[in-house]
Amino acid sequence: MVKYWSSEVIIISKITTVSEYEKKRAEYYLPEDPDTIKKLEALHKVSPVISFIWKVDERWHVEWVSENITQLGYTPEDLMSGKINYADIIHPEDYVKINSEVKKLVKKGNTSYFTLVYRILSKSGEVRYVTERSLLKRDGNGNISRYQGIIIDNTEKEKAENTFRDLERKYRLIFERSPLGILCFDENGAIINCNSVCAKIIADPKSKINGLSVLKYVEEGPLKAAIDLVFLGESGRYEGEYISPAGKRSIIKAEFSPIMSEDGYLIGGLGLIQDVSDIQETAEKIHLNEARLEALLELYQRGNSSISEIAEFTIEEAVKLTHSQVGYLGLLKADNILEMYEWPTQKKNHDKKAWRCPVNSTGMWGEAIREREPIVNNNPSGSGLTKGIKPELEGKVNRYINVPVMDGDQVVAVAAVANKSQEYDSSDVRQITLLFDGMWKIIQRKFADEQILETRRILKVLESVINDSPAVVFMWSPEKDWPVKFVSKNIERFGYLVEDFLSGKMIYGDIIHPADLEKVRAQVGRCYKEGYSDFSQEYRILTRSGEVRWVDERTMIHHGQNGDIDFLQGIVVDITERKQANNFVRIEYDFDDVLSPGDNLQDIFEKILDFVLQIKAVDCGAIYLLDGSKGDLELIAYRGLSEKFADSIRYFGVNTIQARLFTTGYPVYKYFSEISAMIKEDFDYEGLQAMGFIPVHYNDKIVAAMILGSHRELEIPANSRNVIDTIASQLGMIVTRFKEGTLIKKDHGLQDLFDTMDDLIFIMDMGGLIIHTNHALQKYLQYSKKDLSKMDFLELFPPGKEKEVLESIDLEGLISGNSSRCYVPLMNSNHKFLSADTKFFVGKWGGREVLIGVSRLSLNESAN
126 and 70 in a single domain? The answer is: yes
Stated as kind and residue range, the H or E segment containing 183 is strand 181-186
| Amino acid found at 544 | R
pLDDT at 34 over 50: yes
| Average pLDDT value over all residues in the chain | 81
The H or E element containing residue 553 is: strand 548-559
With respect to residue 455, please indicate whether it lies within any of the assigned structural domains: no
When pLDDT is cut at 50, 70 and 90, the band that residue 8 belongs to is: very low
Answer whether residue 173 is part of any domain: no
Read off the pLDDT band of 823 (50, 70, 90).
very high
- Domain edge (last residue) among 541, 574, 607: 574
723 and 795 co-located in one domain: no
Is the domain of 546 the same as that of 648?
no
- The pLDDT > 90 percentage for the chain reads 26
Q: Is residue 849 part of a domain?
A: yes
561 & 701 share domain: no
pLDDT above 80: residue 280? no
Is the whole model's pTM more than 0.75, yes or no?
A: no
Q: Do 689 and 619 fall within a single domain?
A: yes
Q: What is the pLDDT of residues 500-509, one digit of tens each?
A: 999 999 999 9
Report the pLDDT value the prediction gives residue 864, as an integer from 0 to 100.
Answer: 62
Q: Has residue 856 been placed in a domain?
A: yes
Give mean pLDDT, residues 476-494. Answer: 92
Residue 126: pLDDT band (50, 70, 90) is very high
Whether 462 is covered by a domain: the verdict is no
Question: Which among 524, 552, 574 is the end of a domain?
Answer: 574
Query: Which CATH number is 494's domain given?
Result: 3.30.450.20
pLDDT of residue 75: 92
Distances (CA, A) of 87 to 76, 79, 294, 560, 709: 15, 10, 82, 84, 127
Q: Look at residue 727 in the predicted model and tell me its pLDDT.
A: 84
Exposure of 104 by Cβ count < 10 A (0-12 exposed, 13-18 middle, 19+ buried)?
A: exposed
- Verify that 506 and 419 share a domain, yes or no: no
Residue 372 sits in a domain whose CATH number is: 3.30.450.40
Supply the pLDDT for residue 501.
95
- Candidates 417, 440, 402; CA nearest to 311 is 440
First to last CA, the chain: 108
* pLDDT(120) > 80: yes
Q: Give the mean model confidence (pLDDT) for residues 580-597.
A: 49
Domain end (from 525, 546, 574): 574
Say yes or no: 817 and 739 in one domain. Answer: no
* Residues 22 and 136 reside in one and the same domain: yes
Rg of the chain in Å (alpha carbons)? 58
Do residues 667 and 738 both lie within one domain?
Answer: yes
Q: Do 499 and 603 share a domain, yes or no?
A: no
What letter does residue 822 receive in the DSSP assignment?
E
**Region 174-181 average pLDDT:** 81
Same domain, 737 and 761: no
Helices (H), 570-683: 576-589, 591-594, 601-612, 643-648, 657-662, 672-679
Distance CA 524, CA 529 (A): 9
DSSP secondary structure letter of residue 352? P
Angle of CA points 620, 621, 624, to nearest 5°: 165
pLDDT at 591: 43
Of the candidates 412, 348, 343, 418, the residue with the CA atom closest to the CA atom of residue 386: 418
pLDDT for 511-544, tens place per residue?
999 888 999 999 999 998 888 889 989 999 999 9
Greater model confidence, 83 or 288: 83
Of the pLDDT bands very low, low, confident and very high (cuts 50, 70, 90), residue 556 is very high
b (16+ CB within 10 A) / e for 732-761: bbbbbbbeeeeeebeeebbeebbeebebbb
Domain that holds residue 259: 178-275
719 falls within a domain: yes
The yes-or-no verdict on residue 387 having pLDDT over 60 is no
Q: Does residue 553 lie in a domain region?
A: yes
Assess whether 509 and 631 both reside in one domain: no
The total domain count for the chain is 6
Tell me if 151 is assigned to some domain: yes
* 610 pLDDT above the threshold of 60: yes
